[in-house]
A = this chain, B = another copy of it.
């Protein structure tokens, strides 16, 4: 590559611009710019040629058309070793542009700050992405910088290579550039999708910012904040989010959920926070080993001591306790997305809120209001348990959960065994059960009834005892 002679700069984010200009000037690089960037460069005291002077074409439409000019784009796109390209440039009196430093109108930030459609649309950058894409395509001859964080690397590159850049550097910057333009248009595409309420468009764009490679790091962007403890693994995150999904479905300031391997092993709602935790734990204290405890309330001192003691007792070492603050997490706009063999399955989430009207009592024996309320709570917990799912409830706490079994009967047996093993209190209160899908045979229901269950809620079927049908089926895999 030849020495860089000319750079085009057009930056919406003017961070570190002074430092950049100082270095470009050191390398005697001519600068072309327009609009706000041009003004800023002049203000900082550097020489700069205005794009309109460079092209001989005035900036028009209030800045909408500035750089969309053949002189700019031929300068960027010409293949330096191509003789016909060289001839074309010469004939038109065009010059090569070797370095393009551009970042875009802040579309993402605009989305965060306003709902005003016209303002959002005005922040769609057209000229910027065009220059970036042209430079990124022609990376064998041109370097493209799309982020102020890259200035330092650029300077090192210029210093180490006598005002040149290496092909490796240019290819890396080109990779980032195309990711930026895809990300930018992904934001716009998703904004339009949300405006038109198009949940399943013919083409769907997902994108993400790398938060961490699951070593130590800041979790703030996930809107959960690790306050204490060792680094989190993939499975930790998986369990944490499973726990939070359940936690957020429970009445505020009452709910405790204990999750192990993405399945709840204890759920309780109780206005007494201490009891809420104790009753959730009582469902399966053995499985609680190494589990996630999620409370949808502020943990008081009494409970903190209890948790700590238990953590000490079970984990043997306080160091192994991790504490996460998820109070800022928002669970709107959630979709279930799973990826399989290079395909995505996308499903709108199961966050439907149940009320009495969603159910039909089909048994002769009718539940009273409290029983029906408890049944609905059990059915709500059931939706978060992996299929086949059976949840046994006493008052407002699970006392037996059977999860992830290929046969519903197995899930019944597991739930009943848990109940018998851990439930210490007298079973004189009404025990009820929920099933995430209908019982194909009566055997499971018989088992539950034999174990003391007096009311069952399930999506369909036909049996004795109190039986409530929901109009909805769960089925969490």
A-to-B contact residues, CB < 8 Å: 57-58, 60-62, 64-65, 68-70, 72-74, 77-79, 82, 84-85, 88, 92, 121, 124, 126, 129-130, 133-134, 137, 171-172, 174-176, 178-186, 188-189, 192-193, 195-196, 198, 200-211, 213, 222-223, 234-235, 237-239, 241, 244, 260-263, 265, 284, 286-289, 291, 329-331, 333-345, 347, 386-388, 403-407, 409-410, 414, 440, 475, 477
Q: 14 interchain pairs (CB within 8 A)?
A: A61-B85, A62-B82, A65-B74, A133-B185, A176-B202, A178-B189, A182-B205, A185-B185, A205-B205, A222-B343, A261-B406, A284-B406, A386-B404, A404-B405
CA distance A180 to B61 in the complex (A): 26
Copies of this chain, complex-wide, total 2
Residues of B within 8 A of A339 (CB): 335-338
Enumerate chain B residues within 8 angstroms of A337, measured Cβ to Cβ. 337-339, 344
Residues of B within 8 A of A73 (CB): 64-65, 68, 126
Chain B residues near A192 (CB-CB < 8 A): 171, 174-175, 178-179
* B residues in contact with A175, CB < 8 Å: 189, 192-193, 195-196, 198, 201
The complex places the Cα of A238 from the Cα of B241 at a distance, in Å, of 20
- When chains A and B are docked, how far (Å) is the Cα of A301 from the Cα of B397? 53
Whether the pair A185, B189 counts as a contact (CB closer than 8 A) is no
* Separation of A417 and B137 alpha carbons in the complex (Å): 62
Find A208's partner among B204, B209, B210, B223 (CB 8 Å cutoff): B204
State whether B185 touches A182 (Cβ < 8 A).
Answer: yes
- Chain A binding site: helix, strand, loop or mixed by DSSP? mixed
- Write the nearest CB–CB distance from A394 to chain B, whole angstroms: 19
A69 CB, nearest partner CB in chain B, Å = 6
Cα distance A235–B410 in the bound complex, in angstroms: 20
Per the bound structure, the CA–CA distance linking A201 and B134 in Å amounts to 22
Within the assembled complex, what's the spacing in Å between the Cα atoms of A77 and B122? 11
Q: How far is the CA of A337 from the CA of B344 in the complex (A)?
A: 9
CA distance A84 to B406 in the complex (A): 69
**Complex contacts, A64 vs chain B, CB 8 Å:** 73-74, 77-78, 85
A386 CA / B238 CA spacing, docked (Å): 13
Known contacts A201-B179, A205-B182; decide if A235 and B62 are in contact (CB<8 Å): no
Query: What B residues does A121 contact at CB under 8 A?
Result: 137
**Chain B residues in 8 Å Cβ range of A213:** 200
Q: Which residues of B contact A171 (CB under 8 A)?
A: 192, 195-196
Q: Apart from A178-B192, A203-B210, A284-B407, what are 7 other A-B pairs with CB-CB below 8 Å? A: A68-B69, A130-B133, A175-B189, A176-B203, A179-B185, A203-B207, A403-B405
> Smallest Cβ distance from A183 to chain B, in angstroms?
5
**Ordered nearest first, which 6 A-B pairs have the shortest CB separation?**
A404-B404, A287-B406, A182-B185, A260-B406, A175-B192, A241-B340
Judge whether B345 and A238 touch: CB under 8 Å.
Answer: yes
Q: How far is the CA of A403 from the CA of B347 in the complex (A)?
A: 25
